[in-house]
Chains A and B, each alone.
Chain A
Amino acid sequence: MDNEKFMNNLFVYLEIEDGKVEDVSLELLTKGRALAKNLNCKMEAVAVGSQLDNIGEQVFPYGVNVLHLFDDKHLYPYTSLPHTSVLVKLFQEEKPQIALMGATSIGRDLGPRVSSALGSGLTADCTSLEIGDHEEKKENKTYKDLLYQIRPAFGGNIVATIINPDCRPQMATVREGVMKKEIADPKHKGEIVKHDVTKYVSDTDFIVTVIERQIEKSKVNIKGSPIIVAGGYGMGSKENFQLLHDLANTIGAEVGASRAAVDAGFAEHERQIGQTGVTVRPKLYIACGISGQIQHIAGMQESAMIIAINNDPYAPINTIADYVITGEVETVVPKMIKYYKKNSK
């Protein structure tokens, strides 16, 4: 690596839908800012799409130092090859030490392709990113300030720390909701670099075209809700899940679900909480009919207070709950609604 000639900054790829930067990217910028500060380098963001004039005002408050714009009507909606070409060429020029993107259907399509073209390592779905050193004892070599890419593996039963000692950029994807989103300075302004798209993308990159697209605005906001009522496979049916909606409506909560409940068709995918869904940190988490597989617990264990309702007194989730109610969900939930209505002021 030619460390002196280049800045070796941290880069974040921005996901943009309808002119709006997605939350997952803003969360990465928040994390990226902390990592860049730790490394004493700058944070740069890359926007690839169409009509990007207002992207700067959206991302500068998160501490972006340099914003790279690739604005062309053919670059939206996202397709794999043109966005890959932009990142590969830009990264060859700028030589970032770290590149982050969302673990979304876009980031997980783009990241591997870019990493393969650059021959650099990529770690998918990280739940934590840290900076640290590494000693290669066999070669008696010490690596300073590597990116620790921490992720669950093996169905969530282990957590692995992955490093890329020799290849740059060190690439990682992170799921939405795993990192916190926090504005650094609303008045912060960075530099904007507008690139000539024709220098990065060739006509043959447009081999795949999107001929129809039906993307809905996210209807549920489980990440932002202070109270979550979540159901698992133990709810038994989609009809029983309605009970959770009733409770949620009564106490002002959002409804979440475990992977097993989503797989069984009891709830929509966007309500899924856990390693393969979103991570939540509400004030109160009410787990109904959830046994507590590790991969679910990983996505909700930081809740300030947890109530577990389960007919199995030995359900694993009970060990991390503040309140354990042993009983049938169908009995308990209506009673909670009843006594909430009776006692709330």
Chain B
Amino acid sequence: MSLKIIVLAKQVPDTRNVGKDAMKADGTVNRAALPAIFNPEDLNALEQALRLKDKYPGSTVTLLTMGPGRAAEIIREGLFRGADGGYLLTDRAFAGADTLATSYALSMAIRKIGKFDIIISGRQAIDGDTAQVGPQVAEKLGMPQITYAEEIQSVEKSKIRVKRRLERGIEIAEGSLPMLVTVNGSAPECRPRNARLLQKYKHALTITERQAASVDYEELYSNRPYLNLEEWSVADVKADVVQCGLSGSPTKVKKIDNVVFQAKESKTFDSSDTDIEELIVELINNHTIG
């Protein structure tokens, strides 16, 4: 049995460690100072896909990502680790999309990719933490979903069995293909880049990247078609432009506030016995403890 697997992945700013240098003087986040990374849980998703490919020879893993031109890095990163190909969905008309407009665009691209058995994505992306795009893509494609997956245990006779990690325990769920699965950060980490694949794909570029870098090895790219990374626009995936981007987003951002915490007057102690005892006695006397 061979499977056609699509992995949805997103390039995100690394919001986990917003240090002082990433904050501007006015207290806002300087996005440019944050590195753009492969969304962590999408890497967990990619690993689950690659494990299925290992287990069922002949299977293929195709990446799909939406973003600006530089998001082609996500596809290369996937190729370096064992994916077979990928598509970059990029168009100014996609800008400003909320989760609903994003899932619409992705679902149209998936329709263009055509036949597939399993779609796998990370549970959520760290720039928004919404966990909405996976289930919304499934709904748009009229297919079932299993979210919060920790392990795809088996795919047999077109039945998929998935171990889910929930707040207070685990659940084993089973369903028939095609299925969309979203993967938790508790799933195994993604394998590292493979040296041979890195060599093979290091010159894989989108046409826009080739133009920008003025790389013109026409022969190289025609002899090795796998080095051409495809870019798709709104028109390429036959999407309705009104349902894309800002105009396709029912949610609007009314305002953004920076988080500022009110500093308090605090009383300072050190770790000496006298200080600690003084503090404890104070807490007991004012009935905070004891």
Bound complex: CA of A16 vs CA of B147, how far in Å? 19
Bound complex: CA of A326 vs CA of B170, how far in Å? 41
Say yes or no: A327-B267 contact (C-beta < 8 A), given A112-B131, A165-B252.
no
B268 within 8 Å of A by Cβ?
yes
Chain A residue at minimum C-beta to C-beta distance from B140: A116
A212-B280 in contact (CB<8A):
no
Partner of B264, one of A115, A159, A276, A322: A322
B144 within 8 Å of A by Cβ?
yes
A111 within 8 Å of B by Cβ?
yes
Say yes or no: A163-B129 contact (C-beta < 8 A), given A324-B267, A343-B284.
no
Say yes or no: A216-B251 contact (C-beta < 8 A), given A112-B136, A343-B284.
no
Q: Which of B217-262 contact A (CB under 8 A)?
A: 249-259, 261-262
The distance from the CB of A294 to the nearest CB of chain B, in whole angstroms, is 5
The distance from the CB of B195 to the nearest CB of chain A, in whole angstroms, is 29
A109-B148 in contact (CB<8A):
yes
A216-B169 in contact (CB<8A):
yes
Interface segment, A41-49, A92-100, A188-196, A332-340?
Answer: A332-340
Chain A residue at minimum C-beta to C-beta distance from B31: A154
Chain B residue at minimum C-beta to C-beta distance from A107: B131
> Contact flags (1/0) for A179-194 with B, using CB distance below 8 Å?
0000000000000000
The distance from the CB of A230 to the nearest CB of chain B, in whole angstroms, is 15
A241 within 8 Å of B by Cβ?
no
Bound complex: CA of A335 vs CA of B262, how far in Å? 30
B288 within 8 Å of A by Cβ?
yes
A79 within 8 Å of B by Cβ?
yes
Among the interface residues A152, A162, A208, A213, which one has the most CB atoms of the partner chain B within 10 A?
A: A208
B36 within 8 Å of A by Cβ?
no
What interface size band does chain B fall in?
35 or more
B173-A159 in contact (CB<8A):
no
B277 within 8 Å of A by Cβ?
yes
A344-B284 in contact (CB<8A):
yes
Across the interface, which residues of B come within 8 angstroms of A113, CB to CB?
135-136, 138-139, 145
Across the interface, which residues of A come within 8 angstroms of B284, CB to CB?
340, 343-345
B266-A155 in contact (CB<8A):
no
Partner of A327, one of B172, B175, B270: B270
Bound complex: CA of A214 vs CA of B173, how far in Å? 12
A121-B250 in contact (CB<8A):
yes
Across the interface, which residues of A come within 8 angstroms of B131, CB to CB?
108, 112, 124
Partner of B269, one of A79, A155, A325, A343: A325
Chain A residue at minimum C-beta to C-beta distance from B279: A323
Across the interface, which residues of B come within 8 angstroms of A119, CB to CB?
100, 250
A30 within 8 Å of B by Cβ?
no
A161-B132 in contact (CB<8A):
no
Across the interface, which residues of A come within 8 angstroms of B168, CB to CB?
215-218, 270
Bound complex: CA of A166 vs CA of B28, how far in Å? 30
Bound complex: CA of A322 vs CA of B262, how far in Å? 12
Say yes or no: A117-B251 contact (C-beta < 8 A), given A326-B268, A326-B271.
no
B15-A208 in contact (CB<8A):
no
Across the interface, which residues of B come within 8 angstroms of A67, CB to CB?
none
B271-A325 in contact (CB<8A):
yes
Across the interface, which residues of A come within 8 angstroms of B164, CB to CB?
105
> Contact flags (1/0) for A307-323 with B, using CB distance below 8 Å?
11000000000111111
Bound complex: CA of A178 vs CA of B25, how far in Å? 31
Say yes or no: A116-B169 contact (C-beta < 8 A), given A159-B257, A207-B144.
no
> Contact flags (1/0) for B111-136 with A, using CB distance below 8 Å?
00000000000000011111111111
Q: A108-B131, A332-B276 are in contact. List 16 more A-B contacts (CB 8 A).
A: A113-B145, A157-B258, A163-B252, A207-B144, A209-B174, A213-B170, A215-B169, A283-B288, A284-B283, A320-B263, A323-B269, A323-B279, A335-B271, A340-B284, A342-B277, A344-B289
User: What are 5 sample pairs from A and B whose C-beta atoms fall under 8 A apart?
Assistant: A81-B144, A297-B261, A324-B269, A325-B268, A343-B290
Shortest 8 CB-CB contacts between residues of A and residues of B: A327-B271, A155-B15, A121-B250, A121-B251, A208-B175, A112-B132, A116-B139, A212-B172
